[in-house]
Amino acid sequence: MNNPFSLESKVIIVTGASSGIGAQCAIDCSKMGAKVVLVARNEERLRQTLNQMEGDGHMILALDLSSSDGLKEVIKDVVSKMGKINGVVNCAGMSSVTPLKMITDGQLDQFFRTNVYSAINLSKEVTRVGNFDKEAGCSIVFFASIMGLVGEKCKTMYSATKGALIAASRSMACELAKNKVRVNVVSPGAIETPINARLPHMADAELRKELEEKHLLGLGECADISNACIYLLSDAAKWVTGQNFIIDGGYTAR
Ligand SMILES: NC(=O)c1ccc[n+]([C@@H]2O[C@H](COP(=O)([O-])OP(=O)(O)OC[C@H]3O[C@@H](n4cnc5c(N)ncnc54)[C@H](OP(=O)(O)O)[C@@H]3O)[C@@H](O)[C@H]2O)c1
C-alpha cells in the first residue's frame, strides 16, 4: 500500500533547522524521503542537524530571515539546485518574557521581523510562478503557539506575533488554494528547547511544575510537533487548508 504520509522526492524548506523543533522537523522530513533545505543563521548548527539526517541531496542555507534583502535571488538559486518546492515549514522564531512596560519599538520590530515578516516573505517568494511544484502542489506550514490563542503574563510581544500568523494564514490559504498551495498553522504548547530553556517558566522549579500541570499530558517533545508537520506536508493532508493545529498536551482544553 502507498504510504500517504510519505515525502518521497518532495523538496521541503525547513527554517529554524539549526535547533529544537525545526531541527527535528528537518531530520524527520529526511526520514520520510524528502530533500530538505535547512535554513537558519548558524551554519555550524545546521551542519549538526544535517549530520543526523537520512538520504542525500539536502542543502544548507545560512540566512537571517529577519531581512528579506536578496531573498528572491536566494529562492531562485534553491529551485535551480534542488528543483521545484513542495513545502515550507516556517519554524524560525524568537520568544521572551517581557513585561508590558519594558517593551520598546525596537523589540517589537525585531519580534515581528523574525516571527511574522520572515514567514510571509518566504511564502511570497516560494509561491511565485516557477518556484513551487504546481502539479504536485505545495504545503506551507506556519508556526504559531498556544500563546496566539490564550494569554500569559509578559507574553504580549510573542502573542501578538503568533496571533498575526494565525490570522494571516487563513487569508493566504484563500488566496493560494487555486494554485494548489495549502497554508496551515501548527500551534504548540510548551516543548523544552533552547527558545525557552532559560526563561523563568522553565528554569524555575516551581514555575515549571505549574506549567507542567497546565499541560494535561505533561510537556511536549519536538517529535510531537514534527509529526504534525509531516502530516501537513504530505498528500495525506491534500484536502486540508486554512487550519490551525493545536498540539498542546491538553493546555487549551481546560
Ligand atoms: N518550544 C516551545 O515551547 C514552543 C511553543 C510554541 C511555539 N514554538 C515555536 O516553535 C518554533 C521553533 O521553536 P523552538 O522551540 O524550536 O526554538 P529554538 O530551539 O530556539 O529554535 C529557533 C530557531 O529559529 C532560528 N532563528 C531565529 N531567528 C532567526 C532569524 N532571524 N533568521 C533565521 N533563523 C532564525 C534559530 O536559528 P539560528 O539561531 O541559527 O538563526 C533556531 O534554529 C518557534 O517559532 C517558536 O515560537 C515553540
* DSSP characters over 121-165: HHHHHHTSTTTB-TTT-EEEEEE--GGGTS--TT-HHHHHHHHHH
In a domain, 253, yes or no: no
pLDDT of 27: 98
Query: At residue 203, does pLDDT exceed 90?
Result: no
Q: Work out the mean pLDDT of the chain and round it to a whole number.
A: 97
Distance CA 173, CA 93 (A): 21
214-216-219-223 Cα dihedral, nearest 10 degrees: -140
- Which residue owns the Cα nearest ligand 1 atom 47? 93
Region 225-252 average pLDDT: 98
In a domain, 5, yes or no: no
Sequence-distant (≥ 6) Cβ neighbours of residue 245 within 8 angstroms: 184, 185, 186, 187, 228, 232
In a domain, 2, yes or no: no
CATH number assigned to the domain comprising residue 168: 3.40.50.720
Rounded to the nearest whole angstrom, what is the distance from the C-alpha of residue 55 to the centroid of ligand 1?
A: 24
In a domain, 113, yes or no: yes
Pocket of ligand 1 (CB under 6 A): 15-16, 18-22, 40-42, 45, 64-66, 91-95, 114, 143, 145, 188, 190-191, 193-196
pLDDT of 173: 98
For residue 81, what are the domain limits? 11-246
In a domain, 254, yes or no: no
Share of the chain above pLDDT 70, in %: 100
* Total domains present in the chain: 1
In a domain, 122, yes or no: yes
Mutate-to-test residue for ligand 1 from 41, 43, 113, 146, highest number of ligand atoms within 8 A of CB: 41
In a domain, 98, yes or no: yes
pLDDT digits (tens, 9 = 90+) for 140-151: 999 999 999 999
| Cell 515549514 found at | 89
Query: At residue 158, does pLDDT exceed 90?
Result: yes
In a domain, 149, yes or no: yes
- Which residue owns the Cα nearest ligand 1 atom 11? 91
Q: Which three cell numbers stand for residue 45?
A: 548548527
